[in-house]
Amino acid sequence: MKIGIHKTGGFTPRWIEYCKKNGIDFKMVNAYDSDIVDQLKDCDAFMWHHHQANYKDVLFAKQLLFSLEKAGKVVFPNTASGTLFDDKVGEKYLLEAIGAPVVPSYVFYTKHDALAWIENTTFPKVFKLRGGAGSANVMLAHTAAEAKKLVWKAFGKGFPQYSSWSNLKERLRKYRLGQTDLKDVLKGAARFFVKPEFARMHSNEKGYVYFQDFIPNNMFDLRVIVVGNKAFGVKRMCRKNDFRASGSAMPRYSKSDIDERCVKIAFELSEEMEFQSMGYDFVFDENDNPMIVEMCYCYAVEFYDPCEGYWDKQMQWHPGQKFDFCGWMVEEVVKEVNTKRQQ
């Protein structure tokens, strides 16, 4: 058995380390090469941590993985896990379709329909673009007037997927908290003059609007991640004077910080949908019921190293930090390859 791995950041270095440590045959390939399919002919599986901030990945990663999966190879992420990656609107449809506990969400594809809805709904509402991580492209519409401005812009010039000003403000916030250095802040300032490649290559988002109900009195969210038959989580505190928790860099890692109802929901959904890896973001409604805000197959690696342990599918707790959740992904791929061979 051999695994082809596209060399990039994120999960990839730990996949490679795990393969070397456990004697799993692998080879490095370049997904951006035109002959990538040929490169993978002698491989049983292909693993690629594709990312929403890389414009090349956005162009074709899902299509390549789908094609290889249809050709009989095991891929990570598989179609189930990766199809709706960085697509909050798609996630809304899926979570509603399977009856998951999701924050009520609304999408409109005409200005007329959106404005009519605004006249008959309550505020505040959370406005989001389809893509973006770490609370990027997320705004609170406090009033109908603010929501209408967002609608007019969405059906006019649209919204850039990257904001130099928002990026700099976030770097300054982390600098004040001692979570980054001055060099990082200066790098953010330079983005006003030299935008990142992703921002240069992508046009504005427009032609739709997406809102979610604002769930008040949540000073944090819970991120629960399921990989195969194991789960772990973190409580992410909201920014000061802000409703957003994702990307806040204010985590709490204790087992006692994680509501196990969220863990059980995450396990159930991952099993039902055959996800290899999925992170679920939860908040709690006025009756303390957990509700999913959004989900994502990938996440920052080092951020989760301080987690105090993980749950297995029987909800048994296994204490200990720095468990190898990236290695679990390789294990899942190996397991799928072996299952295919026995069929």
- Residues in the chain, overall count: 343
Using CA atoms, how far apart are residues 58 and 51, in angstroms rounded to an integer?
7
CATH homologous superfamily of 89-213: ATP-grasp fold, A domain (3.30.1490.20)
Q: Return all residues near 306 (Cβ < 8 A) that are at least 6 apart.
A: 251, 253, 321
What pTM does this model have? 0.90
Q: Return all residues near 316 (Cβ < 8 A) that are at least 6 apart.
A: none
Strand order in the sheet with 26-29: 26-29, 3-6, 45-47, 74-76
Out of 3.40.50, 3.30.410, 1.10.3470, 2.120.10, the CATH code matching 3-77+331-342 is 3.40.50
Token output for 226 = 């399921």
Question: From first to last of its 343 residues, what are the pLDDT tens digits of the chain?
Answer: 999 999 999 999 999 999 999 999 999 999 999 999 999 999 999 999 999 989 999 999 999 999 999 999 999 999 999 999 999 999 999 999 999 999 999 999 999 999 999 999 999 999 999 987 645 678 999 999 999 999 999 999 999 877 776 677 767 767 777 778 888 778 778 777 777 777 777 789 999 999 999 999 889 999 999 999 999 999 998 866 555 444 445 799 999 999 999 999 999 999 999 999 999 999 999 999 999 999 999 999 999 999 999 999 999 999 998 899 999 999 999 999 999 999 8
pLDDT of 163 reads 72
Residue 195: C-alpha distances to residues 53, 192, 198, 199, 245 (Å): 13, 6, 8, 6, 26
3-state DSSP helix/strand/coil % of the chain, to nearest 5: 35, 20, 40
Backbone dihedral angles phi then psi of residue 331, each to the nearest 5 degrees: -60, -40
- Looking at the chain, the domain(s) classified CATH 3.30.470.20 span 220-323
pLDDT of 245 reads 45
Using CA atoms, how far apart are residues 90 and 132, in angstroms rounded to an integer?
13
Out of 3.30.470.20, 3.40.47.10, 3.50.50.60, 3.40.109.10, the CATH code matching 220-323 is 3.30.470.20
Apex 242 CA angle, 208 and 118, nearest 5: 35
